[in-house]
Structure 1
Amino acid sequence: MKLVAPKLSYIEKTSFEECLKKMKFQDVHIDQNIQQRTIIQDLTFDGCLFENIDFTKVSLKHLDLIDVTFDKCDLSNQNFDHQYLNRVQFKNCKLTGTSFIETNLKDVLFDHCQGRYSNLSSSQLLNVMFDHCDLQEASFYDANFKKIQFNETNLIQSELASLHHKGLDLSTCQIQGAMFDLASLKGLIINDFQAVDLIGILGVKVK
């Protein structure tokens, strides 16, 4: 699966403080944490690289992300609901409880991320890859999947009901205890061992 990578050709290293003075996050590389508690809202991050940033003291509200890479960042419990993410990469990030409800994601990579309890309910995902991620107890309820790839991802006890997909392949993933409905199972690609986990949904008992 080929994703369109973020375009970060002209970024310059700067600080959070400088960007906040101008209220502009465009073509910047930030690798130092902000010290004071801050709210960043109603902006677009465009052409940004964030490295080793802990967003615990930062509240992100109503942000669109275009051509952005988060590398080894903590974005736990941040809210990206109802937003637009295009050509975004989350690499080795902590996304515990992070919310993407009713969000449009296009050409987005989640690579070796910790996303337990994350919420992508009713989201639109086009050309999105989850590679070696921990998404235990995450929710994808009523999500619309188109060109989605899950590689070696932990989906134990995740919510995968009311999915809209065509031939979703979860054969390399852990899906024990995941919640499906009959409609979401249609067209799903799984391996022989996973079939045992899902057969109970069909009302069949293995003797």
Structure 2
Amino acid sequence: MARTRRARPVKLVPDPPETPTRFDPAPAVVEHETVWDGIDAGADVEVPAHVADLDLRECRWTGADLRGREFTGLRARDTRFVHCDLSGAVLDDAVLRRVTFTDCRLTGASFAGAQLDDVRITDCSADLTAFRMARATAVLVEGTSLHGADLYSLTAVDCAFLRCDLGEASFHEARMAGTRLHGSTLDDVRGAMSLAGTRISADQLVPLGVALLGVLGVEVTDG
């Protein structure tokens, strides 16, 4: 008798960061090729325009001004960013595992080529943020504005964008099958065909249908 192949269970919620019960104070300045282990950093930490090979382990960073900073070789594990401003920050090819962004500004930030595992983005502003060619596993984005975001060639597994503004976001060549989009705005999305296999609610049928008709070149006329 042939065996029935069991479907792989879907991971609905990312694993949370494993943070210590007691943190150590942060250094005054972020330096290149530095490991932060169990550090609690605030807004007073000086961050240069370019930081190379920073490794965050079981850290918490609150109220940081990281606007326009370029982080090359960034690695973060079990780390929480709270009320931080990363507008225009460059985190290309970063490796993030069990990381959360809560009430942060990510407008225009770039995560191109990043590896995101068990990442949670909650109540953030992330318009025009780029996730080009990023690889995301168990990523949950909720209550966040991603208007005009660039998700070109994003590979998403067990991911969800819930109650987000995805208006005018670009999904060209993204692999999104199984991604949950419930409660999110899908007006004028680009690359709508790449949303094949995603999961939506009934109230999202019209805006997504309009986007698909546009891709197919279907015109609605009076006769």
Assess same fold via TM > 0.5. Answer: yes
Alignment equivalent of 1:91, drawn from 96, 102, 118 = 102
Alignment-derived partner of residue 193 in structure 1: 206
Say yes or no: does 1:203 pair with 2:217.
Answer: yes
Match runs of 1:30-179 below 5 Å: 30-35=41-46, 37=48, 39-56=50-67, 59-179=70-190
TM-score (norm 2): 0.83
Larger Cα Rg: Structure 1 or Structure 2?
A: 2
Give the % identical residues. Answer: 21
TM-score (norm 1): 0.89
CA deviation map 1:124-149 (0-9, x unaligned): 00000010101111111001010011
Question: Aligned partners of 1:132, 1:35: CA distance in 2, in Å?
Answer: 30
Q: Secondary structure at the match of 1:94?
A: coil
Amino acid at match of 1:14: P
Residues 2 and 186 of structure 1: CA distance in aligned 2, closer, same or farther (over 3 Å): closer
Question: Aligned partners of 1:139, 1:195: CA distance in 2, in Å?
Answer: 17
Question: Aligned partners of 2:81, 2:165: CA distance in 1, in Å?
Answer: 21
Residues 31 and 189 of structure 1: CA distance in aligned 2, closer, same or farther (over 3 Å): same
Provide the aligned length of Structure 1 versus Structure 2. Answer: 206
Residues 29 and 142 of structure 1: CA distance in aligned 2, closer, same or farther (over 3 Å): same
Q: Does the Cα contact within 8 Å between 1:151 and 1:173 map onto a contact in 2?
A: yes
User: What is the Cα deviation at residue 77 of structure 1?
Assistant: 1.5
Question: Aligned partners of 1:75, 1:10: CA distance in 2, in Å?
Answer: 26
User: What is the Cα deviation at residue 192 of structure 1?
Assistant: 2.6
Residues 16 and 134 of structure 1: CA distance in aligned 2, closer, same or farther (over 3 Å): farther
Q: Does the Cα contact within 8 Å between 1:11 and 1:47 map onto a contact in 2?
A: no
Question: Aligned partners of 1:82, 1:57: CA distance in 2, in Å?
Answer: 16
Amino acid at match of 1:174: T
Gaps of at least 5 residues in structure 1 are none
* RMSD of aligned residue pairs (Cα, Å): 2.3
